[in-house]
Structure 1
Amino acid sequence: MPKQFRAWAGLGLALLLAGALQAQPLVQPGDHVVFYGDSITEQRMYTRYVQQYLLTRYPDYELTFHNAGWSGDTAGGAVGRLERDVLTLQPDLVTLFFGMNDGGYRALDEPTVTGYRNNMDRLVGALVDAGVRVVVFAPPCVDPDRRAPLAEVDYNAMLRALGVAGREIATKYRVPFVDVFTPMLGAQRALKAADADFTFIPDAVHPNAAGQLVMATIMLQGLGAEPPAPLGSYDVTTNQGTGLRLTDGQPRRYEFALTQPLALPFWIEAGSAGAAKQIGADTQMGQRLTLTGLEAGTWQIEVDGNPATTATAAELAAGVSILGGDWSPRAKQVHDLIADKENNYYHAWRRIRLPFEAQPAMPAIYDGLFAADQGYHDLLWDLTQTTSQPTLTVMRAPSSENLALGRPYEVSDPNDYNWGIGGLTDGSWNPGPNGSFATGASADLPKHATIELAEAAPVSMVVVGVPNFGSTRTVRVALSLDGQTFTEVGSHEFALGPTQRYTFTFAPQEARYVRLIWPDRYPDERGYSPNFAFATECTVHTDAD
């Protein structure tokens, strides 16, 4: 994370309270939380991240969430629809995220700030009078590089002033205030300093997934959400650790089993993982792994055979936080289900209840959709109780390029259906006929595919993947210098079902030919005849140093 961002984050990520802190956390067991805001809330993105994290971090709380965001709204407009859109839901806690439209997209002036302050006073006062707990969020920043008029009026100066006004109202009512603006602007400046074309607000106002993750991280910090429990720590020189047990130690490759069940992780889109690390979201939401005693260099971390992250030995010694990413299918199910839940409620509220309120048939439809909303919550409460004890694999990352990329190969049982032609060395790990490899359907075993490298090299690492279909079981790797005499260097049995990768590491061996061997299969048919052998990709690398 850039030093500039850490400095700004330290300013804004701390929970800023206008009054004394209560002993109890801001989000309590059984709470019904309503997100109240404008189009940035209606986007249903930061709200999804906040819900996902709180539901997975506190699975026993049985939290309920609803989104009452309305495009173009202001604090004044929110006062007018408060009873209809929020209080009828009988919330315990309401977050307020207004200000973007309140400033009118013009230069800073005191009457505008005063108007916002007065409307926030009315809004917070009404919620407090109704017995609702309130959290005031400062408005987010804009990206003036993306819209010249916003740069000309310095609209961020207006938003900063509105945030100060919001803090004053929070002070008056002794409710929590979270400064979203300052750390978000700091992150934007730091990322632009590294890349002048960077933005996480493409239209200048509405953040994309990375920007929404910035806001969600700040909000979760402000709500007092704790980081998840660590994965564990281990010293490979003393073979001692906490939470981890070494199950397999090979040259430059270690496998660990968790000694305690692991709670469901936080999942984000793979494309946001890099940005997440830059903005500090992995520290808030990731599960921490600490490994000491590793030799210097870069290491790959896999969870259940799926890539999770890379880190240097020094970084692992200090501890790295791993986000859920693609290695946790159940966590992705929770993320996607929350999106479906929010869309269902939006449909019930905005497409059925409000436009057809006077129609006699409306309540039956709305009540049915609202019952489905409760069903979504019930399912989420069940899913977030899920625990697992995955296998962690830590291995030296290759320093060489993939020597097998685009290289030709011969197959003992060629595929006659034009399925996955070239897919073994095309550089794509995507399952399917356009990215994976398949042998023919002959029942004879073993089968093999032999890759010819451009020239002989001291090979020390081969990575093989299998898709989430087919009956592939064991894959063996053998090397040869002349294409005639092969020496086996590793064997791995894949589980039936999930998409997986396995990294074979071994002492460097001079080779020009790399052979994958399928000696057996599972008897179960999963989408295709068990006689086919599949692989998503094979990469070949020289010694890590």
Structure 2
Amino acid sequence: MTIGSCPSPRRIAACALTLCVLVAAARGAGDNVAPEGYTALFNGTDLAGWKGLVADPPARAAMAPARLAEEQGKADERMRAHWRAENGALVFDGKGDSLCTAGDYADFDLYVDWKIEPKGDSGIYLRGSPQVQIWDNPIGSGGLYNNQKNPSGPLFVADRPVGQWNTFRIIMTGERVTVYLNGILVVDDTPFENYWERGKPIYPAGQIELQNHGNTLYFKNIYIRELPAAPARAASSPLLKSGQRVAVAGDSITEQKLYSRFIEDYLLMCRADMNLACMQFGWGGERAPGFHARFANDCLAFKPDVVTTCYGMNDGLYRSYEPGIGGAYGQSMREIVRAVAAAGATMVVGSPGAVDLFTFRWANLPPPVYNDNLAHLRDIARDIAREAGLPFANVHDHMMLAQLRAKPVLGEAYDVCGGDGFHPHPNGHIVMAYAFLKAMGLDGTVGAITVDMQGGATASGGHTVLSAAKGAVELRSVNYPFCFFGDEKSPSATQSILPFVPFNEDLNRLTLVVTNLAGDSAKVTWGAASKVFPRARLEKGINLAAEFLDNPFSEPFRKIDALVAKKQEYETAMIKEAVTRFRWIRTALGDDAEGGKALDALRDKLFARQRALHEEVRAAIAPVTHTLAIGAP
């Protein structure tokens, strides 16, 4: 598969460019004029509101006030010698220091337009620490360059050609950063590490800096929206606890029973040790107000501990965005958050998905225009999650990224968002499941196996070594790796999306480490398949789930997935054909206590059948005994 196989890469590029134009148009009426809700940090005419750089944060903090003032005066002189306002842009001649905001900022939503020349290098310091990367480099801009423990590179190369203007949107909340470059997600809610004091978290507030790296730079349209402090949440810690129940709610995309099925497959098989339960509550054509209206009646008998929501596709009303759309969606989503909290549960606030850049063919509604609408609703969902201290599942951006990655390789007709443009095939539902499972804080470790070629073997994460001798290891595994199937080029196959979404890397790691190998490589046999790996990779660790798509778990996984599908079919019929109608019946019965008891008894029987189907699935998840053999290639 090569990029050159795409029949019309220009169309994909044109859609991405249109998205960028829509993003720019939404920001303001002209250069350096802040959009509503934002403040301009650069006025377009002079250096008001900016100052020169004095040392680094620890050094500044150690200075006496008089010394700091003296050093600031010197730094401001250097600033004026090398930074200037020219033709509505901040211009740096490449010879001085970084430029700093006069004020400090904690949590914020920041826009910055920037331009560099060939071999240019710069960045945006956040809270005085480096940096969101800017450079002329095939790796691409936007990454958190100085991260060591957490991801540092961009998710996608979204730079425009050198010499053209680019736009960053940087959202910083607590210790975490999200970055968009030209409207495309390049950093996703990633911890921002403290470069100056590696053992400490990033500072709670600090100046924003435009980095000097010894070359000519240009900046304009610098707008900031300060965000109020939000309730603390441990975004990287698991949301789920053993024995909990997860309700999956949404519109017709949820009622397809695909991403909900994949979520349930993952939680029941990949985390079989946690004894979790799931139920899906999808309803075709539904908007957020509809779910709020039926939540208490339809969902509470399930007694959910966690509720995931995916609304917005219908809330956007299939037209270009306008404030009234966002207002109605935001109001209803906040009502859902309050209702879920009142029920004693927590919530994963999902954004809407996306529409396909090729197959979405609505009259007078080009894909970028409706994706812009959905992106507005994504932002509202993210703000709601932040305000409430809840996890946010960024479904929209991951579906956009999957399209931008896949279509140049498999062709623009390879749909990620479905043949009709918005009801995905299984490939797109894998992306949706990925977004929700990541938001749940699951660390992605399915298990780890270490084989010592001069000794025995060890295993963890629900895997037990039964025997080990001369590189042959027999194991018994409670937790399964997630398994993928089908044609590697078909949207109907879950396998086809794997090169374009980091599901295996982030969520499905069954790691094999081999030590004390005698040769430079070794053959690993797992089930019926064998592959040869160099010693360095085996010593570092290979992901069996990614390297062996056909493996000893594949058939057990397929059978259990079929049982999950059967169970979710029952859930749809049970809710839509029976339980939700109880609302009308209770109203019609009025004060009829006997009738109310009869409804309660019927509801209990329906949910008892749902629980029985769940137990049928659980009983089928039997430990798998399998063998790994490591030997000469």
TM-score normalised by L of structure 2? 0.54
Match of 1:105 among 288, 294, 318: 318
Corresponding position of 1:496: none
**1:390 and 2:605 aligned:** no
Structure 1 window deviating more from structure 2 (275-284 vs 94-103): it is: 275-284
Please give the secondary structure, in 2, of the residue aligned with 1:144. Answer: coil
From 155, 174, 178, give the equivalent of 2:370. 155
Equivalent residue letter for 2:436: M
Mapped pair 1:204 → 2:421: yes
Which residue type is aligned with residue 627 of structure 2?
A: T
Paired residues of 1:121 and 1:169 also in contact (CA < 8 A): yes
Residue 363 of structure 1, CA deviation: 7.4
Corresponding residue SS for 1:230: strand
CA distance in 1, matches of 2:402, 2:542: 20
Q: Secondary structure of the residue that 1:7 maps to in structure 2? A: coil
In 2, Cα distance between the equivalents of 1:165 and 1:66?
26
Deviation of 1:391 (Å): 0.8
Q: Does 1:265 align with 2:481?
A: yes
The amino acid across from 1:373 in the alignment is Q
Post-superposition offset of 1:348: 1.9
Q: How does 1:402-441 map onto structure 2 within 5 Å?
A: none
Q: Distance in 2 between matches of 1:354 and 1:308?
A: 52
Aligned residue number for residue 282 of structure 1: 504
Partner of 2:557: 331
> Could you tell me the percent identity over the aligned residues?
25
The residue aligned with 1:218 is 435
Question: Taking structure 1 as reference, are residues 301 and 106 closer, same or farther at Cα in structure 2, changes over 3 Å only?
Answer: farther
Q: Report what 2:213 is aligned to.
A: none
Match of 2:188 in 1: 12
Structural mapping, 1:214-253, within 5 Å? 214-234=431-451, 242-243=458-459
Offset of residue 308 of structure 1: 7.8
**Aligned residue in 2 for 1:502:** none
- C-alpha displacement of 1:42: 0.9
Match of 2:573 among 329, 335, 347: 347
Query: Pick from 239, 259, 266: which aligns with 1:53?
Result: 266
How far has the Cα of 1:291 moved from its partner? Answer: 4.2
Question: Aligned partners of 2:241, 2:467: CA distance in 1, in Å?
Answer: 38
Q: Which residue of 273, 284, 288 maps to 1:71?
A: 284
Q: Letter of the 1:140 partner, please give it.
A: G
Deviation at 1:63, TM superposition (A): 2.0
Whole-angstrom CA distance in 1 between matches of 2:439 and 2:521: 36
Residues 297-350 of structure 1: CA distance to partner in whole angstroms, max 9, x if unpaired?
8966432xx338786766555433233655323332322221111112222222
C-alpha distance after superposition, 1:24-51 (max 9, x if no partner): 7311222222111111111111111111
Q: Which residue identity lines up with residue 200 of structure 1 in the other structure?
A: V
**1:355–1:259 distance in 2 versus 1, CA, 3 Å:** closer
Q: The residue matched to 2:352 in structure 1 has which SS?
A: coil
2:415 aligned counterpart, secondary structure: coil
SS class of match (1:134): strand
For 2:382 and 2:458, locate their aligned partners in 1 and report how far apart those are by CA, in whole Å.
43
**For the residues of structure 2 that align with 1:337 and 1:294, how far apart are their CA atoms?**
45
Q: CA deviation at 1:113?
A: 1.6
Q: Which amino acid aligns with 1:275?
A: I
Q: Which amino acid aligns with 2:370?
A: Y
Q: Deviations over 1:48-83 (max 9, x none)?
A: 111121222433433222111111111122222222
Match of residue 256 from structure 1 = 472
Structure 2: state its 5+ residue gaps: 4-138, 141-152, 157-184, 193-228, 460-464, 488-493, 590-594
Could you tell me which runs of 5 or more consecutive residues in structure 1 were left unpaired when the two chains were aligned: 250-254, 397-543
Give how far 1:286 is off.
3.9
CA shift, 1:162, in A, is 0.7
Contact in 1 for aligned 2:320/2:369 (Cα 8 Å): yes
**CA distance, structure 2, for counterparts of residue 212 and residue 273 of structure 1:** 12
Query: Taking structure 1 as reference, are residues 314 and 104 closer, same or farther at Cα in structure 2, changes over 3 Å only?
Result: farther
Aligned match for 1:90, one of 303, 309, 315: 303
Cα RMSD between the aligned structures? 3.8
Task: Tell me which residue corresponds to 1:442.
Answer: none
- The amino acid of 2:479's aligned partner reads A
- Following superposition, the deviation at residue 94 of structure 1 comes to 0.9
Residues 308/199 of structure 1: CA separation in 2 closer, same or farther (3 Å cut) = farther
Q: Deviations over 1:390-448 (max 9, x none)?
A: 1124578xxxxxxxxxxxxxxxxxxxxxxxxxxxxxxxxxxxxxxxxxxxxxxxxxxxx
Question: Does the CA-based 8 Å contact 1:107-1:153 persist in structure 2?
Answer: no
| C-alpha separation in 1, matches of 2:455 and 2:371 | 53
- Deviation string, structure 1 residues 115-153 (Cα, Å, up to 9, x no partner): 211221222122223322111011122212112334355
1:408 aligned residue:
none
Please give the secondary structure, in 1, of the residue aligned with 2:283: coil
Structure 1 residues 18 and 380: alpha-carbon distance in aligned structure 2, compared to 1, 3 A threshold: farther
Assess if the C-alpha contact under 8 Å between 2:524 and 2:631 holds in 1: yes
In 2, are the aligned partners of 1:247 and 1:256 still within 8 Å (CA)? Answer: yes
Q: Deviations over 1:78-117 (max 9, x none)?
A: 2222222223433221111111111112122222122211
After TM superposition, give the deviation of residue 276 of structure 1 in Å: 2.3
The aligned amino acid for 1:151 is P
Displacement of 1:22 in angstroms is 5.0
Corresponding position of 1:319: 541
Distance in 2, Cα, partners of 1:308 & 1:18: 51
- Judging changes above 3 Å, is the alpha-carbon distance between structure 1 residues 167 and 211 closer, same or farther for their aligned structure 2 residues? same
Aligned-partner Cα distance in 2 for 1:342–1:215 = 17
Residue 20 (structure 2) aligns with: none
